[in-house]
Chain A
Amino acid sequence: MNVLYFAWVRQKVGRSDEVIEHGPSLRTVGDLALLLASRGGGYAEAFADLRRLRAAVNQHHVGMDAPLAAGDEVAFFPPVTGG
C-alpha cells in the first residue's frame, strides 16, 4: 500500500509518503493508524489522538473502520481547511 501524509501529519512523521506491506493484521485504516503510532517518535505524536485525524482510501474520505486491501492508496491528514 502507498501511504501518504499531509499538513502537520507529514511534518510530524517527517515524510510525505511510504510503502507499507498489507497483511492480515491491517484489516482497517484504524489498524494501520495504530501500527504507525506504535513506531514512536513523530509517528506516535501524529497518531496520538485519532479523533484529530481524517483518512482517505483511494482518494475517497473514509472512517477509521474502512477496510484495507493490498494496493490501496491510504492518506492521513488533519480536518481540511480550504476555501
Chain B
Amino acid sequence: MHLNVQIQQEDFDVADEIEALTTDEAGAVATFTGLVRGGDGITGLVIEHYPGMTEREIRHIAEQAQARWTLITGITIIHRIGRLSVGERIVLVAVASAHRQSAFAACEFLMDYLKTRAPFWKQEARGEALSWVEHRASDDAAAERWRKP
C-alpha cells in the first residue's frame, strides 16, 4: 500500500494528492480537508506537535485502517503546523480504494483517530491573543464508535 504522511508548514494541493493516489487498482479516492473556521472573533490558529511521535502515531492509525479495509490501495495524510489564518487548509486525509464504501469509511475512521491520537495542539488566535483549544468529548465518542463490533 502507498502511504504518505507529511507534517509541514506549507499548504498542499488536493488535486495533486489525488493524482498521486491514482493507480490502475484504485476505483475511488475519498478526501477530507479540514479548514480553519472563523467566527467568535477568531483570526487564525497556531498548531504545534510532537515531532517523531506524530508521524509514528499517524502511521500506526493508517496501518489499522489498511488492516480493516483491505481494498485500500493508498493513504495520504498531510497535517499543517504553525500559524494559519481563517479559511486556510489544516489537514488532508485521502484514501484510495478499489471501491467507494471502504474509501469513505476509512477516511472518516482516519480523521476520528487522528483527532484523538495524533499529538497536535491548537491555539486559537484572536488578533494578538492566543488561547488553547480544549479537547472535545464528542471527538472521543466519534473514535470510540469504531471499537464496536
A residues in contact (CB < 8 Å) with B: 4, 6-8, 56, 59-61, 75, 77-83
- The answer to whether B134 has its CB under 8 Å from any CB of chain A is yes
Contact between A59 and B52, CB atoms less than 8 A apart: yes
List residues of chain B with CB within 8 A of the CB of A79: 135
Is there an interface contact between A83 and B121, defined as CB atoms closer than 8 Å?
no
Instruction: Say whether, besides A6-B121, A80-B119, A83-B114, A59 and B50 are in contact (CB < 8 Å).
Output: yes
The answer to whether B121 and A80 have CB atoms under 8 Å apart is yes
**Contact pick for A7, options B34, B115, B132, CB 8 Å:** B132
Task: Write the nearest CB–CB distance from B28 to chain A, whole angstroms.
Answer: 22
12 further contact pairs, Cβ within 8 A, besides A78-B121, A80-B116: A6-B119, A7-B121, A8-B132, A59-B52, A60-B53, A77-B50, A77-B121, A81-B133, A82-B47, A83-B91, A83-B114, A83-B118
A75 to chain B: which residues have CB within 8 Å?
50, 53, 119
- Quick one: given A6-B50, A80-B118, A81-B121, are A59 and B34 in contact (CB under 8 Å)? no
> How distant is the Cα of A83 from the Cα of B79 in the complex, in angstroms?
7
Q: In the complex, what residue of chain A is closest to B132 when comparing beta carbons? A: A8
Q: How far is the CA of A81 from the CA of B131 in the complex (A)?
A: 13
Q: Looking across the interface, which residue of chain B has its beta carbon closest to that of A59?
A: B53
Taking CB atoms and an 8 Å cut-off, the chain B residues in 115-129 that contact chain A are 115-122
Chain B residues, CB < 8 A from A4: 50
Given A7-B132, A8-B132: A82 and B50 within 8 A (CB)? Answer: no
Taking the nearest CB of chain B, how far is it from the CB of A51, in angstroms? Answer: 12
Distance between B93 CB and nearest chain A CB, rounded to angstroms: 9
